[in-house]
Amino acid sequence: MPIDGLATQLRKGVIEFCVLALLRDRPRYGGELVQLLRDREGLLVTEGTIYPLLSRMRAEGLVETEWSETSGGHPRRYYRLSRAGQKAVAEFRGEWLAFRAAVDSIIGIGGAER
Amino acid sequence: MTAQHGDELVGVYMARLGAALANIPVERRDEIAGEIASHIAEERFGLADESDDDVQALLARVGDPVEIAAAAQDGRPAVPVAGREWGLLEVAALILTPFLWPVGVILLWLSPAWRVRDKLIGTLVPPGGYMTIFFLGPAVMLGSLGTGGSCMTETDDTGKVIYNSCTGAAAWPEWVQTALAIAGLVGLALILLLPVLVAIYLAIQLRRGGNARIRAQNGPAYAAPTWTERSATLP
């Protein structure tokens, strides 16, 4: 397996749940989400790819959107977690904890190595 | 001071993005491009002293249009599935099954939108739809004439019954006659109601899974990969 494609492969399928998780507290607009993800350097997010992701999750009904005026007067599209989205985050959380524990124990993190 | 070529750089970038997204349905393409355009605009607004290099660095951060388009196609389910949705054939089958039974039933079986179970229900409950009335109606009438029977009663001068003889159905006990009358009414109500109820049932089944069944017949369509499916595709 080419190691340079590794980060991309690992990110795939996880990023969207990170986006959903960032929406748990409150609705956010795209730029805000991009900023929050950018702050986590390990995620290596290409900013522009967040928007197709949001668009798809909207079509899948995981997020809902509404336009809201900024103080500057230009409208922003705000993304809000739908009920299905909340469920998806909760499910991912469970899957991820089990997955991480299994991988950690195999690659020798957390003293679980035999 | 703004970048000398800032707008131009962004314009070229957006044009490349539009070209890369050419395969995406227009509605989603506009949504994605619109969001990215406003993202770029806001980021540029945040730059205190914008230079061409700043804009170029920003566009590099936003990402290669090809990569963005790939991300848009990766998920797939948002792209409308190519293929037929339920339409004229199914509506005609729904309307004709009660009213013009043979034609409606043929259409019902031609459409992949219903399960075999539902097709059987549509065909057998009640067989013939409303056309049954035309055939059964006269038969029921003839039958009731035949079994109707009659009574002959003789009375004396004071009105006292001295002779009473009934033939046919009239000779049956009263409760049998009542039961027959009720059964007849129930039967009539069923013949009138069932075709409509079955049509409503078929319409509900059509709305629930008709399109999915049509697609399933027309070959595999994009389905939303679940988290587990997606991770299973990782090498």
SS3 A108: coil
Q: Does the predicted interface ipTM exceed a cut of 0.95?
A: no
Under the banding of pLDDT at 50, 70 and 90, the label for residue B164 is: confident
Interface contact flag, B67 A48, Cβ < 8 Å:
yes
Separation of alpha carbons B71 and A22, rounded Å: 20
Instruction: Kindly list the residues from chain A whose CB atom is less than 8 angstroms away from the CB atom of residue B47.
Output: none
Residues of B in contact with A46 (CB under 8 A): 61-64, 67-68, 71
Measured between CB atoms, does B35 come within 8 Å of chain A?
yes
Close Cβ partners of B193 (under 8 Å, ≥ 6 residues apart): none
Cβ within 8 Å, pair B38-A76: yes
Q: Cβ contact (<8 Å) for A13 and B234?
A: yes
Whether B42 and A31 lie within 8 Å, measured CB to CB: yes
Cβ atoms of residues A78 and B35 within 8 Å: no
Task: Supply φ then ψ for residue A47, to 5 degrees.
Answer: -50, -45
Helix and strand numbers (H, E) in chain A are 5, 3
Range B173-202 average pLDDT = 86
| Chain B (14-33) residues lying within 8 Å, Cβ to Cβ, of chain A | 17, 28, 31-32
pLDDT tens, A40-87? 988 888 899 999 999 999 999 999 999 998 777 788 999 999 999 999
Interchain contact, B68 vs A91, CB within 8 Å: no
Do residue B231 and residue A13 have CB atoms under 8 angstroms apart? yes
Identify the pLDDT of residue A99.
93
Q: Cβ of B69: how many Cβ atoms within 10 Å?
A: 24
At B147 the pLDDT is 58
Nearest CB to A52: which of B72, B77, B224?
B72
Dump the DSSP string for B50-108: --HHHHHHHHHHH--HHHHHHHHHHS-TTSPPSS--S-HHHHHHHHHHHHSHHHHHHHH
Low-confidence winner among B144-153, B191-200, B205-214 (lowest mean pLDDT): B144-153
- pLDDT per position as a tens digit, B63-95: 999 999 988 886 544 334 445 678 888 888 888
Provide the shortest C-alpha distance from residue B217 to chain A (in Å): 23
Cβ of B67 within 8 Å of Cβ of A53? The answer is no
Nearest residue of A to residue B75, measured between CA atoms: A56
Selected for mutation to probe chain B from A8, A16, A29, A55 (highest B CB count within 10 Å) is A55
R_g over Cα of chain B? 36
CB–CB contact B63 A30 (8 Å)? no
A3 reaches B (C-beta below 8 A): no
Instruction: Give the residue among A52, A86, A53, A79 at the shortest CA–CA distance from A64.
Output: A79
Give chain A's radius of gyration (CA, Å): 16
Helix, strand, coil shares of chain B, percent, nearest 5, are: 70, 5, 25
CA dihedral B50, B52, B54, B60 (to 10 degrees): 150
The whole-number average pLDDT for the span B109-135 is 82
Distance CA B115, CA B119 (A): 6
**CA dihedral defined by B79, B82, B85, B87, rounded to 10 degrees?**
120
Identify all chain B residues contacting A55, using CB atoms and an 8 Å cutoff: 28, 31-32, 35, 72, 78
Peptide bond into B98 cis (omega under 30): no
